[in-house]
Amino acid sequence: MYKVDIYLAQSTASLSKDERWHGYVVACIKNGEEKTVNGFGHIFGTYHEATLRSLSDALDRLNRSCEVYIHTEDRFVLNMLGTQLEKWAGNNYLNAKGEPIKHAELWEEVYVRTRGQLIVAEEGRHSYSEWLDTEMKRRERLIHDTASHGIEMAKEDKEND
């Protein structure tokens, strides 16, 4: 079975709903060489929501059954992936009280995309943590600088009227 590593990161570990970046790297060895693809997103959401969004996006990159090692610092998502996801899927993503679980649509995406995969959870920082953190900060600065430039341009346009 093909081995794939999925490395996940979020720009902040705050549990409250906030603006945050999330990113992933999918890595595998092909012809003796490491090959990677990556992706990033920006959401207004929770830490776990950002982890799930990245995980779902990364899993969507897989085109065959694999042995998938998921690396993240998000202990909750890894724990639920291993202990609750199958139960939630069988119960239409409702909790024991019959209420919809938080981020049910993302959990469903992850469930569908993990079918046929052998999943191994690895908690903690990983070999791509620093790169993902740096890249998310770079993207945040780029958006901030672009937005600031747009404000300055709007001021200049107003002054020229």
What is the C-alpha to C-alpha distance for residues 137 and 9, in angstroms, rounded to an integer? Answer: 12
**Max Cα distance, the chain (Å):** 66
pLDDT band for 149, please (50, 70, 90 cuts). Answer: low
Q: For position 147, what pLDDT does the model report?
A: 67
Question: Residue 93: left if φ>0, alpha if ψ -120 to 50, beta else—which one?
Answer: left
Q: For position 158, what pLDDT does the model report?
A: 45
What is the C-alpha to C-alpha distance for residues 3 and 47, in angstroms, rounded to an integer? Answer: 27
pLDDT digits (tens, 9 = 90+) for 62-114: 999 999 999 999 999 999 999 999 999 999 999 989 999 999 999 999 999 99
